[in-house]
Amino acid sequence: MRRFFKTISILLMVILLTGCVEQKIHMDITNDEMQLKVITAMDSSLTSEDDLQESIDEAKAQGYDAKLYKNTEDNMIGIEVSKSYKLKDIRTSDDVEFHLETIMETADLPKVFKYEDGVYTANFVYDATETSMGGYSSDELASYSSYLKFTYSVTLPSKAKSHNADEVDGHTYTWNIKFGEVNEINYSFGASSPLVYIVIGVCAAIVIAIIVVLILKKKKNGNTPIVDNSVVNTTMNAVPVQPMINPTVETPVEVVPPMPVVAPVESVTVPTETQPVVESPVEEQTDHNQNVQ
Task: Tell me how far apart the alpha carbons of residues 191 and 30 are, in angstroms, rounded to a whole number.
Answer: 9
Whole-model pTM? 0.62
179-224 pLDDT, tens digit each? 889 999 999 999 765 555 566 677 788 889 888 888 887 777 765 5
> Which range has the worst mean pLDDT, 44-48, 163-167, 175-179, 239-243?
239-243
| Per-residue model confidence (pLDDT) at position 283 | 47
* Angle between helix 2-11 and 49-61 (nearest 10): 140
DSSP string, 89-158: GSEESS---EEGGGTTS-SS----EEEETTEEEEEEEEE-STTTTTT--HHHHHHTGGGEEEEEEEE-SS
| Per-residue model confidence (pLDDT) at position 10 | 47
pLDDT at 82 over 90: yes
CA distances from 4 to 41, 52, 95, 105 (A): 10, 8, 31, 11
> Which range has the worst mean pLDDT, 13-27, 91-105, 136-150, 254-268?
254-268
The b-or-e profile of 221-237 (16+ CB within 10 A means b, else e) is eeeeeeeeeeeeeeeee
Segments making up each domain of the chain, as ranges: 2-190, 193-221
To the nearest 10°, the Cα dihedral for 121, 126, 131, 135?
170
Residue 34 identity (one-letter amino acid):
M
| Per-residue model confidence (pLDDT) at position 258 | 59
Under 8 Å between Cβ of 23 and 35: no
The b-or-e profile of 88-100 (16+ CB within 10 A means b, else e) is eebbeeeebebeb
pLDDT at 121 over 80: yes
- pLDDT-derived band at 253 (thresholds 50, 70, 90) equals low
| Per-residue model confidence (pLDDT) at position 288 | 47
Across 89-112, average pLDDT: 92
Phi, psi (rounded to 5 degrees) for 72: -65, -30
Per cent of the chain over pLDDT 70 is 63
Residue 257 vs residue 34, higher pLDDT: 34
